[in-house]
Structure 1
Amino acid sequence: MSEAVSPVVDAAHAEPFTGEGDYRAAVERIREAASAYYEGTDLAMDDATYDALIARVTVTESAQPGWAVADSPAQVVAAGGGVVGDVEHSTPMLSLANVFDADELRAWAARLDRVLGHPARGYTVEPKIDGMAIAARYVDGALVQVATRGDGRAGEDVTAQSRAVAGLPGALARPVTVEVRGEVFMTDDDFARANELRTAHGGQPFANPRNAAAGTLRAQDRAYEAPLSFLAYAVHDLPGGEGLTHAGAMAAVAELGVATTAGSPTGMPLCSTVDELLTAIAALGAARGGLGFAIDGAVIKADDPADRDAAGSSSRAPRWAIAHKFPADTRTSKLLTIEVQVGRTGVITPVAVLEPVQVGGVVVTSATLHNFDDLVRRDVRVGDTVFVRRAGEVIPEITGAKLDERADDAEPFTPPAVCPRCGGDIDRSQKRWRCVQGRACGAVESLAYFTARDSMDIEGLGDKVIRALVAADLVTDPADLYDLDVETLEKLERLGRTSATKLVAAIDGSRTQPMSRVLTGLGVRMTGRSMSRRLARHFGTMEVLLAATVEQLQEVEAVGPERAATIHAELVELSPVIAKLTERGINMAEPGVTPYEERAAATEAPAGERLPLVKEDGKPMSVVVTGSVPGLTRNEGNEAVERLGGKSSGSVSKRTDLVVVGEGAGSKAAKAEELGVPVMPSDRFAALLAAHDAGDQPSWPDFQG
């Protein structure tokens, strides 16, 4: 195997090629990958491998300048792979150089300071969106032309395909002539919808949102219109824009009605030092999974126009800007086998077993394949080289296979004919197949979920005890737990009378848990801890919840028609178990909640009865808890937010109303300070909760400071 096609190290530790042949082979690999990338047809190489090859070519050309080929991918925009059209850009659309860690960023900033002869007068930090760069020209406020970046000098005309792009208006708020540059991309929701449309029309699913955006933007005469979004990151010829900082120019663009990176959920932090830059970059990286669209790094720019003019640009990239790349969230690996797993509610899911691969800083050995219909559409087979990404930075998933590397004898996967756990029939009426035995098939898993700390919190009911109870036919559903006595339990292997006595007491003590915990433990599909709390606080009692219609369920925040229908069907299925639990004295009410009927009948809430974390318009405050709260676990802290009328959130944005900061708080506290979001120390939050629980009607500003 030649060096050029051997595994490559990360770009931050690039080494030059030792032979000219290997260097030239790497250049060709980059060009082929870039061509596929910019045409939006396929992902021929994962981002980390591409960045590493570019870095090796760059250091090789520095060490061996005589080897450098014409239009080297290290020196030209788009690595020579851009789709070139006949629309000439007013000024070149350049690429960005990359850095990969703090040391490299500090080195770049030091070089910039040397070029300027003084420290840069501030920086901006923006998300590096994984999409397709375009230039949009407006004349007298009307959109007249949209072109892709192409080779940086000229691009392809995609005006007709850009008319419905969200964030790129057909007419500006004022009749000005201006050119806006930015990124066309697909949000997570856009991507899901695009794949639904593409497969419905007989096509293969897109491998990733970036390819989907590029392919959609360049497609002509397509039978369907897939959604696209846009965020601007630059502007040219802005009337009255002379002397504006970059932040000021983006604010002016936003006033014209164009969506900008500064107006995205990430915002556009302003920084004075490299340390501040690193804090902002870390915050952006931490928020990466919850943005709703893919980013692969942060873009740092000198904010002051005089600094930008003084720094200038090379033929490929500006010297006043740099991209700080995050660990790649898409890599390739070999698919070793496909396993079929059965969940606690009987849902049957195909799971890919992979050769270990690091994705986004985490070693991944398995990934979801979603459902069997999706597996057939993607046509992923054992032995394939597959693309792996971490969906939402958490759940690894396979987005597609490198079909040109598939073995001739690779066989399509054959889905199971019967449930692999119990041998029963499979309900194939929905996308997610399910054993007809439902929860009874996964009794051990269902019981473990019911008794877990975040559910009914029954100490002593570990996996081994639950398996023993199920094997002895003593328990088949959660209600059976409350029929157990010491005499029965002490007969189980290695349990003994003392342990049995403690276990019975723990089971008995769980009867008083709030309704939200019961709901969580029952594991209603399309709900979790947060949704269970919302349902419990909205309806107040299990009786009212069970009687709720699909329409009434949609009154709950984040419950749409599909989720409401699923929850309704699940509650119907669970009603016999709920009835058994009720008969055994399990609490079926949420404490501190005004009965649903009273709230539904009231036209106006009595003055002075608003919960502490409810705004004047009656909507819940968005509250983020970061760090530890005295006396509460992390989940109990989120529960407390909702008990006080708020809505718990996991990320800080401009829409956040309050951040509770405790010991061990990280980047979220810094993000709150940067955005000017009110902050409450965790001990004061604990005091607010205690005052509320004591029957007082405190207001959170009284506890601030």
Structure 2
Amino acid sequence: MQDDLAADATAAAPIVDPAHARPHTTRDEYRSAVEQARAAAAAYYAGEQNLLDDADYDALYARIVASEREHPQWRTGDSPTAVVGTVGGDVEHSSPMLSIGNVFNSEGLRDWAAKLDRTLDRPVTRYTVEPKIDGLAIAVRYTEGRLVQIATRGNGYTGEDVTSQARLIAGLPQRLSAPVTIEIRGEVYMTDTDFAKGCDLRLAHGEPVFANPRSAAAGSLRAQRVYDVPLSFMAYAAHGVPAEHAHSHSAVIEHLGTLGVATTAQSSAGLAVCADIDEVTAAVAALGARRGELGFGIDGVVVKADLTTDQDQAGYSTRAPRWGIAYKFPADTRTTTLLRIDVQVGRTGVITPVAVLEPVQVGGVVVTSATLHNFTDLQRRDVRAGDTVYIRRAGDVIPEITGAVPDARPADAEAFSPPEHCPRCGGDIDRSNLRWRCARGRACGEKATLLYYTSRDAMDIEGLGDKILDALLAAGHITDAADLYALDVPTLAAMDRLGTVSATNLVNSIAATKTRPLSRVLTGLGIRMTGRTLSRRIARHFGTMDAILAATPAEWEQVDGIGSERATVILAELAEVAPLIAKLAAHGVNMTEPTGAVSTAATSAETSLPLRRPDGSPMTVVVTGSVPGLTRNQGNEAVEELGGKSSGSVSSKTDFVVVGDGAGSKATKAADLGLPILNADKFAQLLTAHRTGDHTTTTEILTTLTPA
């Protein structure tokens, strides 16, 4: 996580921090904003289609705060700064369910901690850091271990009784493991998997898809339907905990776990106990880096003073506890306008609908396009050009459209019509699978396929550019990659703009690629659901093309990163390109991986590789910046040659980061997470030592790994 997320804001990102927001110029503008915020909050707490996405609501709220700070006489009792929500209910809470204050960068977090220290007149004893679940807050009452009532947060003082929906909620048992009387507070939410299931259920029953997991959870908790949508619960507080378990927040959460209730500590996000604000900042960054890997949505991190004595001494303001704060992440779900729907044809003939969007910042990144998955899904969701759509992006996930705002659809918006014929070649379309494909397959994209085969990341054929390929294809000299190796100097010299010297150089350049390793050949073939990294992994696992072609589905699933679904696609792809592979082999193209890189199992030779753990598993390494003597891809290949697993993103699962000249945000993130760093010069020395068999030097270099 960058130190200051707001520093990366662009025109596409609303200002959500009140400290930087612009106040309204008139009282009427302020009142209009309050009314808009109240309406949006009512829809939000009711779990309906959102009137505003999170970022736009936060920006609206920030301007209201700024206006009330500038003009305190404008503030009214119905301001969103004065109330939690707008929807109350029949259940009175045992104590108010207050909101929590927000900060938006590490500077704000440190300012909050310093203020808390001043309030206590001493440093906070310790902190906890846990995920801020993007769900619906509820209070759950147990009497002698039996669940008796569930109430929504409502307006903070009274809530709605939703006890009848308890059967839907995983992590919230009907009976506790002990006959205690207790009130547990937490969030009802929807996991990513359950959100997808819920949307499918909605579509199957003729209803529009959910806007996002949060509104899906809130709406489903209240709804009485003929079908059940799965929900989950995670506890973050409790009242009535025995004194021996109530001395700290972390102890309360641990106790709830022993009662059988799902808690933040048991989740994939975990609960961190930190000694000081430096550890807090590192824990926040670590959780932010893993945001897209959790399997459920979080919109920030909650930081609390852990000890109950610290909390009691700090107390509450009129609206929120002083001993807790929420560090808000950039919104990973936004709304924007769908400008048009394009149809793209990939090099393997796969035909895909792609949404072109009004630029919007989602999760800290400006998004201008998003996946629409496939035509069947697009028609079921009925997303149209002109719609206001929800864009979701968690972590490094490709942006996707999760649905449209029905009430915002223009009157003249027309349903999308899928193509009748391949947009590239005009041929028939194979609609037998969810992902449509040109019936000509790879032949449809022969030029794109050839360009990929000859690219630097694949076979790296120098001198064979776009125009020469066009001429060769037009003249009928080539139809696939194997035909390149049959080209001779007279044929090429006779072509426009190619003399004998250039033709000779090109023939030699093509011939030189025959000795490229198998991993490069696999990359050049462009097998669907693989790429450079996975191609290297496959080549190293099997060693030869013959072994690859003979492998069974079960053997494919032994390759790191390949499951049954991917194995099925890869096997089908290999069967399709088998004739091309045979032609390449007949022309003398190498079909083996260098012996030092071949590995079919966690053998003793494999475990002795520098970047292998004793159990044979690879270390995860990120290379950022330049490594002396290596290109970017060669740097990644070197990681795998050394036995490691190359990754393009830094996270808490990264073992260490290689940092060279020109390193950027990845080096910064490594520093934030406190990951070990290896200088690029040392990494180059490590590679040389490994290749020369100098095991003493490799060991010495790896012992120099130091935290950022």
Name the TM-score, length of structure 1 as normaliser. 0.86
Moved more, 663-672 or 145-154: 663-672
Q: What does residue 421 of structure 1 align with?
A: 424
Partners of 2:691 and 2:169 in 1: CA distance: 49
Q: What does residue 25 of structure 1 align with?
A: 32
Identity of aligned residues (%): 59
Code of the aligned partner of 2:35: E
User: Structure 1 residues 607 and 61, CA, compared in 2 at 3 Å: closer, same or farther?
Assistant: closer
User: Structure 1 residues 691 and 103, CA, compared in 2 at 3 Å: closer, same or farther?
Assistant: closer
Moved more, 313-322 or 486-495: 486-495
2:41 is the counterpart of 1:38: no
2:481 is the counterpart of 1:484: no
User: Structure 1 residues 448 and 92, CA, compared in 2 at 3 Å: closer, same or farther?
Assistant: farther
Partners of 1:501 and 1:179 in 2: CA distance: 82
Q: What does residue 620 of structure 2 align with?
A: 623
Partners of 1:464 and 1:595 in 2: CA distance: 37
2:192 is the counterpart of 1:188: yes
CA deviations 1:306-363 (Å, max 9, x no partner) are: 3322222234321222222222233332222222111111111122222333333333
2:79 is the counterpart of 1:72: yes
Checking the alignment, whether the CA contact within 8 Å between 1:681 and 1:704 is kept in structure 2 is: no
Deviation at 1:435, TM superposition (A): 0.8
**Count of residue pairs brought into register by the alignment:** 685
Code of the aligned partner of 1:295: I
Long gaps (5+) in structure 1: 1-6
2:312 is the counterpart of 1:305: no
Code of the aligned partner of 2:83: V
Partners of 2:681 and 2:526 in 1: CA distance: 33
User: Structure 1 residues 382 and 594, CA, compared in 2 at 3 Å: closer, same or farther?
Assistant: closer
Deviation at 1:57, TM superposition (A): 1.9
Paired residues for 1:20-419 under 5 Å? 20-78=27-85, 80=86, 82=87, 84-138=88-142, 145-159=149-163, 161-163=165-167, 165-168=169-172, 178-226=182-230, 228-241=231-244, 244-254=247-257, 258-271=261-274, 277-390=280-393, 392-419=395-422
Checking the alignment, whether the CA contact within 8 Å between 1:145 and 1:157 is kept in structure 2 is: yes
Partners of 2:332 and 2:669 in 1: CA distance: 22
Partners of 1:94 and 1:269 in 2: CA distance: 23
Deviation at 1:373, TM superposition (A): 1.4
Partners of 2:38 and 2:593 in 1: CA distance: 61
User: Structure 1 residues 678 and 14, CA, compared in 2 at 3 Å: closer, same or farther?
Assistant: closer
Partners of 1:268 and 1:699 in 2: CA distance: 40
Code of the aligned partner of 1:405: A
CA deviations 1:36-66 (Å, max 9, x no partner) are: 2222221221211100111222232334444
Checking the alignment, whether the CA contact within 8 Å between 1:658 and 1:680 is kept in structure 2 is: no
Q: What does residue 448 of structure 1 align with?
A: 451
Partners of 1:440 and 1:140 in 2: CA distance: 70
Code of the aligned partner of 2:385: V
Code of the aligned partner of 1:11: V
User: Structure 1 residues 50 and 528, CA, compared in 2 at 3 Å: closer, same or farther?
Assistant: same
Paired residues for 1:10-21 under 5 Å? 10-12=15-17, 13-21=20-28
CA deviations 1:222-276 (Å, max 9, x no partner) are: 42443x3444333443334556443444445455555443454444455566565
Deviation at 1:498, TM superposition (A): 4.7
Q: What does residue 535 of structure 1 align with?
A: 538
Checking the alignment, whether the CA contact within 8 Å between 1:427 and 1:433 is kept in structure 2 is: yes
CA deviations 1:81-137 (Å, max 9, x no partner) are: x4x444443332221222233444444334333322234334333332322223344
Deviation at 1:423, TM superposition (A): 0.5
Structural RMSD (CA):
3.5
CA deviations 1:467-516 (Å, max 9, x no partner) are: 44334433322222222334444455555555544443333232222222
Deviation at 1:427, TM superposition (A): 1.0
Code of the aligned partner of 2:670: A
Code of the aligned partner of 1:109: A
Residue 418 of structure 1 aligns to a residue whose secondary structure is: coil
Partners of 1:242 and 1:671 in 2: CA distance: 33
Deviation at 1:417, TM superposition (A): 0.8
Long gaps (5+) in structure 2: 1-11
Correspondent of 2:564 among 561, 564, 568: 561
Partners of 1:175 and 1:510 in 2: CA distance: 73
Checking the alignment, whether the CA contact within 8 Å between 2:336 and 2:388 is kept in structure 1 is: yes
Q: What does residue 595 of structure 2 align with?
A: 592
Checking the alignment, whether the CA contact within 8 Å between 1:335 and 1:352 is kept in structure 2 is: yes
Partners of 2:443 and 2:643 in 1: CA distance: 36
Residue 666 of structure 1 aligns to a residue whose secondary structure is: helix
Checking the alignment, whether the CA contact within 8 Å between 2:334 and 2:392 is kept in structure 1 is: yes
Deviation at 1:572, TM superposition (A): 1.0
CA deviations 1:617-648 (Å, max 9, x no partner) are: 55x24423254555545544444444444444
Partners of 1:402 and 1:203 in 2: CA distance: 13
User: Structure 1 residues 314 and 501, CA, compared in 2 at 3 Å: closer, same or farther?
Assistant: farther
User: Structure 1 residues 265 and 689, CA, compared in 2 at 3 Å: closer, same or farther?
Assistant: farther
User: Structure 1 residues 63 and 606, CA, compared in 2 at 3 Å: closer, same or farther?
Assistant: closer
Correspondent of 1:579 among 577, 582, 599: 582
Code of the aligned partner of 1:363: V
Deviation at 1:437, TM superposition (A): 1.1
Moved more, 183-192 or 373-382: 183-192
Residue 395 of structure 1 aligns to a residue whose secondary structure is: coil
Deviation at 1:148, TM superposition (A): 2.9
Partners of 1:648 and 1:150 in 2: CA distance: 48
Code of the aligned partner of 1:704: T
Moved more, 662-671 or 433-442: 662-671
Moved more, 358-367 or 621-630: 621-630
User: Structure 1 residues 181 and 523, CA, compared in 2 at 3 Å: closer, same or farther?
Assistant: farther
Paired residues for 1:599-678 under 5 Å? 611-617=609-615, 620-628=617-625, 631-649=629-647, 656=653, 658-663=655-660, 664=663, 666-670=667-671, 673=674
Deviation at 1:11, TM superposition (A): 2.4
Partners of 2:615 and 2:176 in 1: CA distance: 32
Partners of 1:606 and 1:357 in 2: CA distance: 51
Residue 376 of structure 2 aligns to a residue whose secondary structure is: helix
Checking the alignment, whether the CA contact within 8 Å between 2:248 and 2:306 is kept in structure 1 is: yes
User: Structure 1 residues 410 and 304, CA, compared in 2 at 3 Å: closer, same or farther?
Assistant: same
Checking the alignment, whether the CA contact within 8 Å between 2:23 and 2:64 is kept in structure 1 is: yes
Residue 393 of structure 2 aligns to a residue whose secondary structure is: strand
User: Structure 1 residues 183 and 588, CA, compared in 2 at 3 Å: closer, same or farther?
Assistant: farther
Partners of 1:626 and 1:171 in 2: CA distance: 50
CA deviations 1:353-409 (Å, max 9, x no partner) are: 223333333333322222111221221222222223335445333222222122222
CA deviations 1:576-633 (Å, max 9, x no partner) are: 111111112222223337989x96xxxx967996655554555x24423254555545
Code of the aligned partner of 1:319: R
User: Structure 1 residues 612 and 11, CA, compared in 2 at 3 Å: closer, same or farther?
Assistant: closer
Partners of 1:668 and 1:259 in 2: CA distance: 30
Code of the aligned partner of 1:207: A
Checking the alignment, whether the CA contact within 8 Å between 2:269 and 2:294 is kept in structure 1 is: yes
Code of the aligned partner of 2:105: D
